[in-house]
Amino acid sequence: MVFFVDEVGDNTSQKDDGNVGGQKFVAENNAHALICSSYADSHFTILEFTKACGDAICCVIILAIYEVEAKNIMGFQPWVSNTNGNPTINIKGNCHGLDKYYPLGPTCTYDEKEIAMYVTCSEFGSITSKILRDIVKHLDSNLNFNHSKCMPFLLLDGHGTCFEFPFLKYMKMKEPSGQ
């Protein structure tokens, strides 16, 4: 029950991606490369929680927005041609999978239980102590650890957000009695 997490930040802007005129792109047979790009900055952070053996536990996405909407969680692929009725009405029949209008993000499996990705936001798309606390709450609610048998261990990097009050207070509440 040893877990690791690290984050990587990124930006959807392709303004300075180094693509020079005449560069070739890889695409499937009988398909053309979709090379539309955005010059607008849209920062985000992705965290992957893994077991010590390397198995993924949960994917976390932190967007640089002020409020998470359903479209941020579900994603959408308007080019999908095989829809099940009107995708804006039949949402359930058109979601969850690479070939769906609303593909949803990655899910991970831990002890035969699927754990959905966790999507949240902050002003700059970076982690905060409150977000870290909420992620651990998400994991606790999905993994149902039996703390009387053993205490899960989460190894974090040295960001200051790991040592701020909201996260530390929640972790203190998780300690087994007598420690």
Residue 63 belongs to some domain of the structure = yes
Answer left, alpha or beta for residue 113, where phi above 0 means left and psi between -120 and 50 means alpha.
beta
**Mean pLDDT value across residues 53-82:** 86
Q: In terms of Cα–Cα distance, which of 128, 114, 120, 8 is closest to 61?
A: 120
pLDDT digits (tens, 9 = 90+) for 84-127: 888 888 888 888 877 888 888 888 888 888 898 999 999 988 88
Q: Which helix (H) or strand (E) holds 130?
A: helix 129-143
Residue 17 belongs to some domain of the structure = yes
Distance CA 59, CA 71 (A): 17
User: What total number of domains does the chain contain?
Assistant: 1
Distance CA 124, CA 116 (A): 23
Distance CA 64, CA 159 (A): 18
- 60 CB neighbour count, 10 Å cutoff: 23
Looking at residue 58, its pLDDT comes to 92
Looking at residue 119, its pLDDT comes to 92
CA atoms within 13 A on the CB side of 137: 12
43-51 and 2-11 strand pairing = antiparallel
- 93 CB neighbour count, 10 Å cutoff: 15
pLDDT digits (tens, 9 = 90+) for 46-58: 989 898 888 899 9
Looking at residue 86, its pLDDT comes to 85
Residue 79 belongs to some domain of the structure = yes
What pTM does this model have?
0.75
Looking at residue 179, its pLDDT comes to 46
159, amino acid identity:
H
Q: In terms of Cα–Cα distance, which of 10, 118, 133, 100 is closest to 59?
A: 118
- Are 56 and 48 in contact by the 8 Å Cβ rule? The answer is yes
Residue 28 belongs to some domain of the structure = yes
Percent of the chain at pLDDT > 90 equals: 12
Range of the domain at 81: 2-174
**Mean pLDDT value across residues 7-11:** 81
Residue predicted with more confidence, 119 or 16? 119
- 120 CB neighbour count, 10 Å cutoff: 21
Residue 88 belongs to some domain of the structure = yes
Tokens of 18: 């180094």
- Are 166 and 133 in contact by the 8 Å Cβ rule? The answer is yes
Residue 53 belongs to some domain of the structure = yes
Residue 179 belongs to some domain of the structure = no
